Chains A and B, each alone.
Chain A
Amino acid sequence: MLFFILKRLSQSILVMAIVSAVSFSLFNFVGDPVNNMVGQDATREQRVEIRQQLGLDDPVLTQYTRFLGNMLQGDFGLSYRIKRPVDELIFERLPATLELVFVSAIIALLVGITMGVYTGIRRKSWASRAILSISLVGVSLPTFIIGIALIYIFAVHLRWLPSSGRSGTVDLGWWKTSLLTVDGWRAIILPAITLSLFQLTLILRLVRAEMLEVMQTDFIKFARARGLSERAINFRHALRNTLVPVITIIGINIGGLIAFSVITETVFQWPGTGLMFIQAVDFVDVPIMAAYLVFVALLFVLINLVVDILYFVVDPRIRLGD
């Protein structure tokens, strides 16, 4: 167990080293950092002074070490465009992304498991077939097209919901939430559905497949023979045994949600970290790009680590097999 975790940990550190090297080279080789700081019309002396201040004349390895040191403290310098500390900007935008991902995950899990169980138990009914065919179409539709379609139907045509932006936020001091007001919920519902659809279909199909498999097993037959009610069999015996694989894919799921949140945030102009990255690329705002890169890598490394360990804890077979 310890060996396994150590192996994964070393892998994670390797990933972070590579990512930090990439963002370091972004800083050093994209444009002229001095120009980005002082603009075109600074004098020669000013430039030399800033070069020395920034330590750009030091050997590359020294610079990289310093960069790593700053990175570990969450210091990525000032955004070229907005002229504010990058870590501050990211923390400002983070609640929007996390709330979107959270609401989407809840929708995907609730609806996905419910529909999965339904289609698994009543697999011959017309509703199950309809759900499965629709989910097949859902998988092959690109996220942004689903978003546009929802905007057209619910915002442009029916005018029920706002089409973009985040509104009705309440400032809790350290966290701006949009989950406390009706306006906030109205704004989050379309992007959250868009983001959740793909994961929802994945969960649906997984739960259905697992249900079908579990229903064939001897202990379900035995439960039937004991004369237990359908409900007890379906939920207390069958559903419980399908949840192990579902729990383990939740982690991967969250990773997927974060990935697709970049697209969803752009479609709905949702002011989260993903939209910030896309805007930073447009303006070559290197500090934000570098910070986002490190941030996303860290997030994925953590998620994978947790999932690996969870897997270990949840399924004793793996523990014994290693």
Chain B
Amino acid sequence: MQQDHPMTRWERFKDNDIVWSFLHSPGAIVAAAITSIAILACLFAPLIAPFDPFDPSQISLWDGKLPPAWIEGGQPQYLLGTDNQGRDMLSTILYGGRLSILVGLAAVCLGMVLGVTLGVISGYVGGVTDAVIMRIADVQLTIPGILLAILINGIGRAFLPLELRQEFAIYVVIFAIGLTDWPQFARVARGATMVEANKEYVQAARIIGLPGWRIMLRHILPNTLRPVLVIATIGLALAIIAEATLSFLGQGIPPTTPSLGTLIRVGNEYLFSGLWWITFFPAIALVVLVFAVNLLGDWMRDALNPKLR
């Protein structure tokens, strides 16, 4: 297409192939919308939520176990009903979702930093270093991630003194999930590094005598980030599921500051008394969140990886 006037910044932005692909795939737009709404709603939970579930003065046991507002017996101020302690479900879900997303992001970041560092070193240095790192990654990949996370988390909890367990539970969870998903990042980063390392700009950088760490950090690393981003998005969905699973097993975030998984666990105990909403709404929130992040990851994989298109 012939352009008479210089492109504005917005037009250049729209011309980018990733943005083009995004604007032309309705699934991605819906997923991105749901994900960003969920993330924003959770981040701004204190502003949006009608109640503060951690403020004892706003909770009354008399309002406990109320059904959602549209069912007989429900009250209009508690849209999704209340849990066993009289906390507003909508508010606890927003706060819980916030915790789930934050833990997921932190775990993915940990896994990403660890994996990308090891992967770039592995791909750039090669030789024995490469063999050792990749062997460890291979062996770890034969064990399903969720089992590994449960085991690492269990060991981590055992090493903590009893009185610190609740307080540090969240860090143990982040650590366990982060340690579980580094091999994916390492593999992808290594592959990308090996491609980049043979290109001329890297050889030029070597010839002018730049130290190895500087080449890895400033020259190679930025060029490995595209595939890493894809893995990170899919990894986020898995990390959120892993956190929810650990919390559901009673091994994760404690009930005093519940995440979505903890809420489902607590609600599960009331399922038999017919109080389905205490489990149902957190579960739906979790499923929608994970599904949206997954869809986004799928789209990113297609968009950022032109070979697959």
Contacts and interface: CB of A to CB of B under 8 A. Distances in A.
Contact of A300 (B143, B146, B150): B143
Contacts of B143: 255, 259, 300
Given A140-B291, A163-B272, A284-B162, A262 B142 contact: no
A152 B250 contact: no
B158 A148 contact: no
B264 to A, nearest CB: 7
By DSSP majority rule, is chain B's interface helix, strand, loop, or mixed?
Answer: helix
Nearest to A23: B155
Contacts of B37: none
A63 interface: no
A29 interface: yes
A144 B248 contact: yes
A260 B271 contact: no
A61 B245 CA distance: 37
A145 B142 contact: no
Interface centre among A140, A286, A289, A300 (most CB of B within 10 A): A140
B277 to A, nearest CB: 12
B19 interface: no
B139 A15 contact: yes
A282 B144 contact: no
Contacts of A26: 155, 158-159
Interface in B245-278: 245, 248-251, 264, 268, 271-272, 274, 276
Given A15-B139, A293-B151, A304-B142, A141 B287 contact: yes
Contact of A263 (B139, B146, B162): B146
Given A259-B144, A289-B155, A144 B271 contact: no
B271 A142 contact: no
Contacts of A156: 271-272, 274
A152 B271 contact: yes
A30 B151 CA distance: 15
Interface in A140-197: 140-145, 148, 151-152, 156, 163
Contacts of B154: 277-278, 280-281, 289
A287 to B, nearest CB: 11
B192 interface: no
B287 A145 contact: yes
13 contacts: A11-B135, A144-B248, A152-B279, A156-B274, A255-B142, A256-B144, A263-B146, A277-B154, A278-B150, A284-B162, A289-B155, A293-B151, A296-B151
Interface of B: 135, 139, 142-144, 146-147, 150-151, 154-155, 157-159, 162, 237, 241, 244-245, 248-251, 264, 268, 271-272, 274, 276, 279, 283, 286-287, 290-291, 294
Interface of A: 11, 14-15, 22, 26, 29-30, 140-145, 148, 151-152, 156, 163, 255-256, 258-260, 262-263, 266-267, 277-278, 280-282, 284, 286, 289, 293, 296, 300, 304
Given A144-B249, A145-B286, A277-B150, 16 more contacts: A11-B139, A26-B158, A140-B290, A141-B287, A142-B245, A142-B290, A144-B245, A148-B264, A148-B271, A163-B272, A259-B147, A262-B249, A263-B249, A267-B248, A277-B154, A296-B147
